[in-house]
Chain A
């Protein structure tokens, strides 16, 4: 069965610290990869996505993620976090021609001013 693992459940950082959140998936076929963010009291928003091409993708608000096919990973990074990045972050995987999206368990990020 397909699965998505996020190893960091709770992360607390000070402003200006660097961020890396891990995401691993188990599926051998062609996949689309996503990071979604949910700010407190708000709906899920797409942070970035990977469909094909350059494995280093850039998203909104200075976030980027790198797809490493050999490691089945799609880790999220940001060089310098801000207090406003406090949110829940969800990694998601979708089989390219299918309608099922699998979400990781999420990472709660708290950034301390």
Chain B
């Protein structure tokens, strides 16, 4: 079991649809992340929120839009995706205490996205 909860576990969407992925953690972590993972590949960093502010955007296309409503929640809004965006989307969190030690990443189980 993981302490980072992601919904939905599976999502199929068309290229004109708008959908959202959700992530929640209750460990008091102040950093939250979105990663994209293709099969047999390492996770690729997409976004990092630190203290509820977007701190890193790894040049991700605007069809992916992150949102951090509060310190426990992280959303990824999806619009006009392409078939090549099909992947496992992983949410993670870490202590994120920048003056001390970020700690390790705790991963959710991921949302498997298929774009038709």
A contacts, CB < 8 Å to B: 32, 34, 36, 42-46, 49, 51, 88, 90, 92, 94-101, 103-106, 108
Interface string of B41-55 (1 = CB under 8 A from A): 111010010100001
B40 engages A99 (CB within 8 Å): no
Which of B16-24, B60-68, B75-83, B93-101 lies at the interface with chain A? B93-101
Does B56 sit at the interface, judged by CB under 8 A? Answer: yes
A43 engages B40 (CB within 8 Å): no
Range class of the B interface residue count: 20 to 34
3 smallest A-B Cβ distances: which pairs?
Answer: A103-B42, A43-B109, A44-B107
Besides A97-B102, A99-B33, 13 new A-B residue pairs in contact (Cβ under 8 A), listed by A number = A43-B109, A43-B110, A46-B105, A46-B106, A95-B102, A98-B102, A99-B94, A99-B96, A100-B45, A101-B45, A103-B42, A105-B42, A106-B40
B98 engages A43 (CB within 8 Å): no
17 residue pairs bridging A and B, Cβ less than 8 Å apart: A32-B101, A34-B104, A36-B107, A43-B90, A43-B107, A43-B109, A43-B110, A44-B90, A46-B106, A90-B42, A92-B105, A94-B102, A97-B99, A97-B102, A99-B98, A103-B42, A105-B41
Q: B101 contacts which chain A residues (CB < 8 A)? A: 32, 51, 96-97
- The binding surface of chain B is classed by DSSP as loop
Q: B100 contacts which chain A residues (CB < 8 A)? A: 97
B55 engages A99 (CB within 8 Å): yes
B107 engages A99 (CB within 8 Å): no
Say which residue of B31, B42, B55 sits within 8 Å of A104 (CB atoms). Answer: B42
Min CB gap B66→A, angstroms: 14
Q: B31 contacts which chain A residues (CB < 8 A)? A: 99
Min CB gap A74→B, angstroms: 14
B107 engages A100 (CB within 8 Å): no
A99 engages B42 (CB within 8 Å): no
Most chain B C-beta atoms within 10 Å of own C-beta, residue among A32, A42, A43, A108: A43
Min CB gap A65→B, angstroms: 14
Q: A36 contacts which chain B residues (CB < 8 A)? A: 105, 107
Say which residue of A32, A99, A106 sits within 8 Å of B104 (CB atoms). Answer: A32
